[in-house]
Amino acid sequence: MPSRFAVKVFANGFFAVIAIAIVIAFVADRRDEVLDAVRNDWVIDYMHPLKDEAKAALALERKSGSPKALINLLESPSWEKLRLGDRAYSLKRKMLARLCINLQQQGDYLRLIKWSDVWLSMNDRDLDARAFWFEGIRHISEREIEGLEGLIANYHDFPENHYLHSFLIAAYSDQGDTVSARRMVIEKARSVANDILSGWQVFWTTSDYDNFSKDRSKHLSLRQGEGVETILQFDLPSDAATIRIDAPPKSRLRIHGIETSLGGTRSKVSNKEVKLSQMRRESGNFLTYGREDPYFVLPIKRVGDTDPGAEITVTLYLQIKLIIAGYDVPVTELFDET
């Protein structure tokens, strides 16, 4: 039988080992926390200057229409060395995408080929980069067929890619093959018809609550009106002050000729009264352009008195066209496709 002394030594040693283990675990946790803090601080210090540079270049490009600011930044040493897998690669990709859009819109196909090739050299699986590269080379003498075939093959494998779809329609149109171009437009319209017709939502504020919230919203579907008009109709509390109309996410629409009817009186909405988010104005139209949450806001104009607590029926008349690769398809044509 072990002596009391031996038992005491064993017990003391056992508890000492436990204490050391706890200290080691605590130190290890603290070390990980310190390392995480250092790593996070490094990421912040690393990313912030790049984000500021990217924002400035993108803002200058939007304001001037010139790609010079983007090119100058992408050619700088700190940006040139960025590769796929770097934390700032998503920023560089955004810059390259915006630059390629600019060059394609300006018809500067030689530089479009150069910069889409830079993009592909970092990620040859990027479908947007492929689309811009094939779009560029199809405008180069003796490489037109290569460009067209590249667009056809990639679109066949990845028909959901926006740029492959748009550039192939443009390629068919440039060749005078309006049948193929129109077929692609109609196929695309049919594929999104249900989303475009049923993906609407209305939010409202009231005299005592001026924030838009999900508990004061309704999902809506477009109805066919007279001629090229479509209709959104919904009931609101009598004290509703403003309405927010959310268009389908990522849609590309041209909206104009907005009119409202409350209590049977129909009136035209002035463009100046309309506030936009993730939409833009263009020649008297309101355009959604593929953003995640496009919407517009209108004031409610009552005619006569309404009873407190009652509901009012609001009818919104809109003329809407679906934009597909430069073609406008009246949304009224989609009702036959659902």
Helical (H) or strand (E) element with 94: helix 89-106
Question: Is the model's pTM score more than 0.85?
Answer: no
- For tokens 């592909």, the residue is 120
What pLDDT, on a 0 to 100 scale, did the predictor assign at position 263? 72
For residues 197-207, b (16+ Cβ closer than 10 Å) or e, as one string?
bebbbbbbbbe
- CA angle 120-169-150, nearest 5°? 35
250 Ramachandran zone, left/alpha/beta (phi>0; psi -120 to 50): left
What pLDDT, on a 0 to 100 scale, did the predictor assign at position 64? 94
Single-letter residue type at 219 = H
**How far is it, in rounded angstroms, from Cα 134 to Cα 115?**
12
pLDDT in tens, the chain (338 residues): 555 544 444 445 555 556 555 555 555 555 455 444 444 443 445 578 899 999 999 999 999 999 999 999 999 999 999 999 999 999 999 999 999 999 999 999 999 999 999 999 999 999 999 999 999 999 999 999 999 999 999 999 999 999 999 999 999 999 999 999 999 999 999 999 999 999 999 999 998 888 999 999 999 999 999 999 999 999 999 889 999 999 999 999 999 999 999 877 789 999 999 999 999 999 999 999 999 999 999 998 765 556 666 888 999 999 999 999 989 999 999 997 65
What pLDDT, on a 0 to 100 scale, did the predictor assign at position 37? 43
**How far is it, in rounded angstroms, from Cα 293 to Cα 195?**
14
* Six-digit token string for 152: 């056809």
Domain ranges of the chain: 128-176, 195-337
Burial bucket for residue 301 (CB in 10 Å: 0-12, 13-18, 19+): exposed
